[in-house]
């Protein structure tokens, strides 16, 4: 937990406040900033994830308190708990002003004895919020990732990623690969579905480790995978596809001492301007079909009329990487 003490009264922090905070939040990361402008600057330089959970403001001028309050509440972040300690003020409505601006607790000089109790209450609420945020993060991850292949996006998420890349491409090439494990049904028939799951996991890991960190890999269905590559020209895409093919087939998958050989066929295309994600997937699927039909364990690039300006072979042709071809 992170705590900020904004000291707006004294040049030096009030030691009684910092001691009490350290008692209530024994493992907290506590920062102390003196002055209104330095406190606002400190908050503005923090990313949303680095903002403190609790901000304690020791002030005399309600306007200073409002500035701190507004600088926090304008951020779209999980709730930051604001606790204001007023030493003295001529404004009798200071509590109402701060509470309306987003403060959580306001104490005047006569109420400082309640500070420890309020800190304990804020700690309980903050702990509950952190647990809820952790649960939300987990649910968000689970909703976007395959339940079996947790390192890959699921069908809906990979399609959403493809749509997003197309919309934000801004003239930069978006390439697409569709990979399919060759003869996967035989793995299930000969070794069982648990062995098939183990093969799927290993293939998924080999694909994921073969592409760039900003590329998206998802399970398209069954033993098919979709790879979305942003700002990746045709030549580079075919290199990456061949790297995937080589890495997947470099060694058998060991499943309970059964050494299962595995290979993939890959279809590749580039999403051109104004082309829909659906058409891009169809092109990659056609190229994959060619790879399967012409012997499997190979990379094929879509060569239809739509790709004549993409750097791929001319209309009507498909390109095959020979298994012995070396990466450039």
> What residues act catalytically?
223
- How far apart are the C-alpha atoms of 284 and 176, rounded to whole Å? 7
- How far apart are the C-alpha atoms of 290 and 268, rounded to whole Å? 11
The dihedral sign for the CA sequence 132, 72, 29, 20: negative
- How far apart are the C-alpha atoms of 187 and 198, rounded to whole Å? 10
């Amino acid at each position: 937990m992170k705590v900020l003490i904004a000291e707006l009264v004294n040049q030096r922090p009030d030691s009684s406040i910092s001691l009490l905070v350290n008692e209530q939040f024994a493992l907290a990361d506590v920062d102390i900033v003196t002055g209104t402008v330095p406190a606002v600057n400190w908050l503005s330089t923090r990313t949303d994830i680095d903002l403190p959970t609790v901000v304690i403001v020791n002030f005399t001028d309600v306007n200073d308190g409002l500035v701190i309050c507004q600088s926090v509440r304008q951020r779209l972040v999980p709730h930051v708990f604001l606790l204001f300690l007023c030493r003295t003020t001529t404004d009798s409505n200071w509590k109402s002003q701060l509470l309306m601006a987003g403060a959580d607790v306001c104490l005047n000089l006569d109420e400082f004895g309640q500070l420890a109790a309020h800190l304990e209450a804020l700690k309980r609420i903050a702990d509950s919020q952190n647990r809820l945020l952790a649960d939300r993060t987990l649910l968000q991850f689970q909703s976007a990732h395959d339940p079996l292949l947790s390192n890959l996006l699921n069908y809906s998420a990979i399609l959403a990623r493809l749509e997003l890349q197309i919309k934000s491409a801004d003239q930069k090439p978006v390439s697409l690969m569709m990979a399919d494990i060759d003869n996967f049904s035989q793995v299930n028939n000969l070794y069982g579905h648990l062995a098939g799951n183990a093969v799927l996991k290993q293939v998924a890991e080999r694909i994921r480790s073969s592409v760039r960190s900003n590329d998206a890999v998802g399970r398209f269905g069954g033993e098919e995978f979709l790879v979305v590559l942003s700002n990746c020209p045709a030549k580079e895409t075919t290199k990456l596809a061949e790297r995937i093919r080589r890495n997947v087939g470099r060694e058998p998958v060991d499943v309970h001492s059964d050494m299962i050989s595995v290979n993939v066929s890959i279809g590749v295309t580039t999403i051109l301007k104004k082309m829909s994600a659906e058409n891009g997937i169809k092109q990659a699927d056609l190229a994959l079909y060619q790879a399967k039909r012409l012997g499997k364990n190979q990379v094929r690039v879509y060569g239809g009329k739509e790709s004549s300006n993409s750097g791929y072979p001319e209309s009507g042709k498909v390109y095959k990487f020979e298994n012995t071809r070396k990466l450039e």
